[in-house]
Amino acid sequence: MRVVIKDNEKQVAEYAYEIVRMALVDRQYKVLGLPTGSTPLLLYSELIAGLNRTEIDFSDISTFNLDEYLGLSADHPRSYRYFMETRLFEKINIKPSNIHFLNGLTDNVEAECAEYEDQIAALGGIKLQILGIGRDGHIGFNEPGSSLESRTHYVTLTKETIADNARFFDREKDVPRWALTMGVGTVMDAEQILLLATGENKAAAVAAMIEGPITQMCSASALQSHPDVTVVIDWAAASKLQHLEYWKQAADDYDEMYDFLTAARRHAGLEDSY
């Protein structure tokens, strides 16, 4: 796990954009997993700007969103599909047929979840999965207690999650109590994972994810066992890390190490470089 600490939300989004840009352009990834919520909004703005600068292109990209409320239609203004349409999809050159979303009005939950897994598999799996993290350490809607091997499934939302999401609704009682979500196992199948977190209210969850034990009570802790995870956070979200100086030094050394290897390979007369 690579931990990158930036001064503020804007810098977090800018750094995350470079990771996504490299994934699309250099690694030629074609399948993205996307989150909703307030955390990725600045990143989505950066992606739109990157498209306008012709640095990236979504014309052959397919996306799978992490989750959706049960009981809300795709055009409901509080559905996650509507969120993504208005914040990102309608502002980039993605084909509508390449956008994949769980159906909040499905009449067969089990079949809907199984079909979503099949759609992901049919495209060769998610290459880059972008994540946020809940205050209790959940990723997607994988609430505390979710199996770390879980596939796409139905979940009952905790009171904490409902309270956190109430800001998007007129009243807390209007927040749906159930959702469909990619499972932790589904997320862990992604080739590369990028998680963003900002603000002091995420500090405890970030510390549990990075430094705590791997446990189903903090589904994000499963990321410790993934081979390619980058966590980009601000200082507020990093404030409860016990080994803060180490994580900062390790992140700084990462870039320095590649500069060192590039110079060493050139000195050795090797044509290719890192």
Q: How do residues 122-166 score in pLDDT, each as one tens digit? A: 999 999 999 999 999 999 999 999 999 999 999 999 988 888 888
- Catalytic position from the list 143, 164, 189, 234: 143
Q: How far is residue 227's CA from residue 204's CA, in Å, rounded to a whole number?
A: 23
Nearest to 114 by CA among 149, 142, 153: 153
Tell me, yes or no, if 67 is annotated catalytic.
Answer: yes
- Asked whether residue 191 is domain-assigned, the answer is yes
- Catalytic position from the list 112, 138, 164, 234: 138
Residue 180: DSSP 8-state: E
Residue 144: the pLDDT is 94
- Asked whether residue 258 is domain-assigned, the answer is no
Residue 273: the pLDDT is 45
Helix, strand, coil share of the chain (percent; to 5): 45, 15, 40
Count Cβ neighbours within 10 Å for each residue of 251-267 and write b for 16 or more, e otherwise: beeeeeeeeeeeeeeee
Residue 272: the pLDDT is 57
Alpha helices (runs of H) in 55-152, residue ranges in sequence order: 80-87, 109-122
- Asked whether residue 98 is domain-assigned, the answer is yes
- Catalytic position from the list 136, 164, 189, 234: 136
CATH of the domain at 224: 3.40.50.1360
Residues of the chain with pLDDT under 70: 271-274
Tell me, yes or no, if 90 is annotated catalytic.
Answer: no
- Asked whether residue 254 is domain-assigned, the answer is no
- Asked whether residue 261 is domain-assigned, the answer is no
Residue 172: the pLDDT is 84
- Asked whether residue 195 is domain-assigned, the answer is yes
- Asked whether residue 266 is domain-assigned, the answer is no
- Asked whether residue 36 is domain-assigned, the answer is yes
Long-range CB pairs of 243-246 (<8 Å, 24+ gap) are 243/211, 244/5
Residue 10: the pLDDT is 97
Q: How far is residue 219's CA from residue 196's CA, in Å, rounded to a whole number?
A: 15
Q: What's the pTM?
A: 0.92
Tell me, yes or no, if 136 is annotated catalytic.
Answer: yes
Tell me, yes or no, if 153 is annotated catalytic.
Answer: no
- Catalytic position from the list 9, 46, 67, 234: 67
Residue 274: the pLDDT is 43
Domain count, the chain: 1
Q: Domain span at residue 104?
A: 2-242
